[in-house]
Amino acid sequence: MRFPFLPLTLLVAPAAQAQSASPPPAQGRDVVRESDDAFGRRIGVEDVGLYSESEVRGFDLQSAGNYRIEDHYFVRAAGLLQPVTEGTAIRVGVSALRTDFAAPSGVVQYSLPDAAPGTRATIEAGWWGGSGPVVLPRLAAATAGGEFGMSAGVQLSLAQRYADGTRGDFVAFGFVPRWRPAPGIRLTGIWSRNLFTRGASTSYSVTGAPPARIRRGTDRTQAWMDVRNTSDLAGVMADIEAGAGWTFGASAFRSSLSYQRNVFSLIRLPQNGAPAEASGLLYGAETRSSISAEVTAAKRFSTGALQHRLLAMIRRRDSMASSDSGAAFQLGQYPDLDNPPERDRPAVALDPRRLRDDVDQWTAGFGYRLSIGDKAEIRADVQRVDYVKQARALDGSVTENASRPWLYGGALSVAITPALTAYASFTRGLEESGVAPANAINRGDILPAAISRQSELGLKFPIRGGPTLIAGLFDLSKPQLGIDARGAFGFVGTVRHRGTELSVAGPLTPRLSVVVGATYLDAHAQGELVDLGLYGVRPMNRPSTVALASATWRAPWIEGLAIDGGVTFRSERYGDRANSFTLPSYAIINLGLRQAITLDGKPFTLRARVTNITDRFAWNVGNSGLLNPIAPRAVTLTLSAAL
């Protein structure tokens, strides 16, 4: 749709240096063993954690733009592709303290591949559960001294069959060059593109509670409902250690997502066994693009036992979205939901006129870090934002809104004992609010940027030779958007998320590693729409409890064999804004194994994994209020090799 313990000084250290060796193929790496907390980590198509790249602590990260590529500011129109991504980590709580100019809800950190001296080729081939066949060759090469290196890859995922029954083809390719022209200077580039064709995604709406289950894997779209898009990413980064405590950074990225055509498919599920009703929207060409750039300068110096770091930053963002308004269509009833009748493409015409949104944003910031030996650290930063959003309607009229808020944040970490660290932080951030929809009396009006706030405190305790324990409390609040009693779209209240996070991650024994985590969320809404009874006091799709337990065990009786498994639990949550019904709790169980072998001196890794092994059915609801079933049981079987 479109829609072991780290010293305190490391918490505010600059970006990590390049790895000294090329990473193994993604399926040869273990996401559990590489996780340092339970908040979110992804390697290849496998992930573990309480949060995802799109949602942290119950809030959407896309509107906040909390993304970084190797610590460089990045505004994405589309996610990073497999051929150019080494991994992804969710930095929240204590792990976010190492992030300059941190934002509420944390930060998603992307890492890129880095080639070691010499040449190395790898290939991963097989079947990815939930999609289909895949071939993913990668090549990494670097000069003997490591001055210049290149990593490149191609993903061929043809003849896919997705969890909703639709089919498609996905092709992605890209490369990451790195150049170290002199000691202390590293230049990194990135370029990638993907071509994607598939059937339309289908969502479901209900009046009241949805059915207990529907059959998954059934294509309920029509033959003419195909979606075609292309995404592109180009960028360059510079990291400079200039000596005398000075470091400089600079980056620029352009991310774009273009649809040649798009279809939104909607099926309404009536009550009392009545036939389902199909409808949707047809779209023509659509383009979303974002340019993001940043320049930083930092100075480290000491005064006695105190370590200081001063940081200055300037950022630029230029985002654009252009599309038509979509042509609504009705396909009538589907008497048998599992055998939808064939229907001709409706005779609807696309409006040639275009809608367009533009965001022009400048941000300047200054930060200060103080380390008091290994006893305590203090962080403070302030930013001034110049945010301008412009919207052009179909009739050519243009509306504009500007916001120039001050943003600020601070953090304190204290070593209570040599192993136990306490931390606390506060952050104020900016997020987009959008444009009033067509059914509002102020249609087309642009809302000012929303201000979000977060405060948190917690403890971190690494066990020597064992796992790291993290416990934290958080409190986030953001304005709530909606249409008020007069019919005007705007800020109608506040949503507040308070909660507790627990994380245990690391080795229990030399052979057994775990990631165990839980979060308790008290989500509460207040404001005009709640007072009128139109919205409930609980935001929809916000489970009070999310918990997971994942483990990897390296078996002693077979060399190279690792067995892994995990369970994720989500408690019941409200399925609509009015809190008229709840969606039941559910647990998902995954099991897998990884066998590393050597043939003719070359390493191979066989990966087998079953997700949702019990084929549990559950509904999830998106921010739009539409429902989608969770993915059914799926099997992944791949072979990775270093050539």
Give the CA angle between residues 70, 74, 79 to the nearest 5°: 90
Q: Domain coordinates of the chain in residue numbers?
A: 26-338+353-642
- In angstroms, the CA 588 to CA 591 distance is 10
Neighbours of 105 (CB within 10 A): 29
Q: Is 101 left (phi over 0), alpha (psi -120 to 50) or beta?
A: left
Name the band, by pLDDT with cuts 50, 70 and 90, for residue 154. Answer: very high
Give the CA angle between residues 502, 503, 508 to the nearest 5°: 140
pLDDT tens-digit readout, 114-134: 999 999 999 999 999 878 899
- In angstroms, the CA 335 to CA 341 distance is 8
pLDDT on residue 462: 94
pLDDT tens-digit readout, 480-507: 887 777 777 788 889 999 999 999 999 9
Tell me the one-letter amino acid at 582. Answer: T
302 has a pLDDT exceeding 70: yes
Instruction: Please tell me which of 59-63, 102-106, 553-557 the model is most confident about, judged by mean pLDDT.
Output: 553-557
- In angstroms, the CA 445 to CA 146 distance is 54
Name the band, by pLDDT with cuts 50, 70 and 90, for residue 4. Answer: very low
Strands 107-111 and 118-128 come out as unpaired
Copy the structure tokens of residue 442: 């102020």
- The percent of residues in the chain predicted with pLDDT above 90, rounded, is 64
Q: What is the mean pLDDT of residues 411-432?
A: 92
174 has a pLDDT exceeding 50: yes
pLDDT tens-digit readout, 583-616: 999 999 999 999 999 888 889 999 999 999 999 9
pTM over 0.85: yes
Average pLDDT, rounded, for the chain: 89
Q: Is 541 left (phi over 0), alpha (psi -120 to 50) or beta?
A: left
> What does DSSP assign to residue 211?
P
pLDDT on residue 347: 87
395 has a pLDDT exceeding 90: no
Q: Which CATH class is domain 26-338+353-642?
A: mainly beta
103 has a pLDDT exceeding 90: no
276 has a pLDDT exceeding 80: yes
pLDDT on residue 66: 85
1 has a pLDDT exceeding 50: no
DSSP element (H, E) containing 529: helix 528-531
φ, ψ dihedrals at 316, nearest 5°: -135, 135
Q: What is the mean pLDDT of residues 619-623?
A: 87
- In angstroms, the CA 39 to CA 515 distance is 9
349 has a pLDDT exceeding 90: no
The answer to whether 111 and 85 are in contact (CB under 8 A) is yes
- In angstroms, the CA 301 to CA 404 distance is 33
- In angstroms, the CA 567 to CA 634 distance is 15
- In angstroms, the CA 25 to CA 126 distance is 13
- In angstroms, the CA 632 to CA 163 distance is 7
pLDDT on residue 22: 41
420 has a pLDDT exceeding 50: yes
- Please report, for residues 264, 280, 282, 457, the alpha-carbon distance to residue 328 in angstroms, rounded to integers and kept in the order given: 9, 6, 6, 48
Closest by alpha carbon to 508, among 550, 470, 545, 536?
550
pLDDT on residue 28: 61
pLDDT tens-digit readout, 223-256: 999 999 999 999 999 999 999 999 999 999 999 9
- In angstroms, the CA 11 to CA 477 distance is 26
Query: 3-state class of 532 per DSSP?
Result: coil
Q: Which of 60-74, 114-128, 160-174, 376-390 has the lowest mean pLDDT?
A: 60-74
DSSP 38-74: SS-EEETTEEESS--SSEETTEESTTTT-EEETTEEE
The answer to whether 314 and 292 are in contact (CB under 8 A) is no
Name the band, by pLDDT with cuts 50, 70 and 90, for residue 142. Answer: very high
pLDDT on residue 351: 87
Closest by alpha carbon to 582, among 615, 548, 544?
544
DSSP element (H, E) containing 423: strand 421-431
- In angstroms, the CA 413 to CA 457 distance is 9
- In angstroms, the CA 454 to CA 449 distance is 17
- Dihedral of CA atoms 486, 488, 491, 495 in degrees, nearest 10, equals 70
- The percent of residues in the chain predicted with pLDDT above 70, rounded, is 94
pLDDT on residue 19: 34
Tell me the one-letter amino acid at 302. Answer: S
Copy the structure tokens of residue 435: 């444009």
The answer to whether 40 and 51 are in contact (CB under 8 A) is yes
Q: Which residue has the higher pLDDT, 22 or 406?
A: 406
Query: 3-state class of 8 per DSSP?
Result: helix
Query: 3-state class of 411 per DSSP?
Result: strand
The answer to whether 160 and 131 are in contact (CB under 8 A) is yes
Q: Enumerate the H helices of 48-202 as residue ranges.
A: none
Neighbours of 93 (CB within 10 A): 24
pLDDT tens-digit readout, 21-44: 344 444 468 999 999 999 999 998
Name the band, by pLDDT with cuts 50, 70 and 90, for residue 438. Answer: low
pLDDT on residue 471: 97
Q: What is the mean pLDDT of residues 439-446?
A: 71
